[in-house]
Amino acid sequence: MTAAAYPDRLQADLVDHKYVREKYGTGPSLAHKREWLARIAFRV
């Protein structure tokens, strides 16, 4: 995720870590998460 330049908030949400900053809004949408996950998905 680091090599793919994931946003900090998205990276924390995907691996269920706490995000220790002020929260603005509801966070990334499911579609946004899917878009970022597609960037690092293994293709078989």
- Residue in the structure block whose two tokens are 């900090």: 8
Return the amino acid letter for 38: A
Secondary structure of 1-44 in HEC code, one letter for each residue: CCCCCCCHHHHHHHCCCCCCCCCCCCCCCHHHHHHHHHHHCCCC
Average pLDDT, 10 consecutive residues per value, the chain (44 residues): 78 80 76 86 78
| pTM exceeds cut of 0.75 | no
Predicted local confidence at residue 42, as pLDDT: 81
